[in-house]
A = this chain, B = another copy of it.
C-alpha cells in the first residue's frame, strides 16, 4: 500500500511531475542535506511549489518516498541475517548497513531518529520496521551470549544513531567510516588480555 501504482492510476501529467520531483529532490538532498530548499526542488523540476506540496505534504513524505526502497532492502537483509551462523556478526553487519543507509543524506540520521517517537511522521512506518529488525538481531545476539544482555533495543539504537551522527559531523575528517561502530561494539576499555571474541578487524598480525 502507498505504492507507486496504487489509487486507480494517476493522471499522466501528475505521474510525470511526481517523478521529476523525486529525481530533483534526490540530488538536492544529496547536495544540501535533508533541509535543502523545497522551493528549489520544485523550480528545478520545472513545477510550482503547490505541485510539490500536493504530492508530498511534508518534507518527511518526500524523504520517505526516496528511502522506501533502501529501507525495505534493509529489512530484507535483517530477515536474511537472522540465519547467520554468528549472531554477533549478523548484528554488526546489519548495523553497518543501517548506518550506511542513514548517512546518504546529511541530516538524515536526525530525521530518522526524531521520527522514532513521532507516529505522525511519514517516515515513522519505515523507522518502526528498522526498530523491529534491530531488536530481533540484537535479542538473538544477546540470547547467544555474544552481546551483553542488559542493553535495551532503544539504547542500542540510540548508540548506533549517535555514532552515525558523529560520523556525519566528522565528514571528511580522518575517521575511517566504520571505525566508530567497531569501537562501540568493542568498548573503549581495555579487555583483560589481548583480543576477545574474534572480529574481522583483528584477524591480522
Contacts and interface: CB of A to CB of B under 8 A. Distances in A.
Interface of A: 88, 110, 113-114, 117, 145-148, 151-152, 154-156, 158-159, 161-167, 169-170, 173-175, 179-180, 183-192, 196-197, 199
A147 B154 CA distance: 26
A148 B189 contact: yes
B158 A189 contact: no
A123 to B, nearest CB: 14
Integer count of this chain's copies in the complex: 2
Contacts of A148: 186, 188-190
A115 to B, nearest CB: 10
Nearest to A196: B192
A91 to B, nearest CB: 9
A187 to B, nearest CB: 2
Given A155-B179, A159-B166, A162-B163, A188 B185 contact: yes
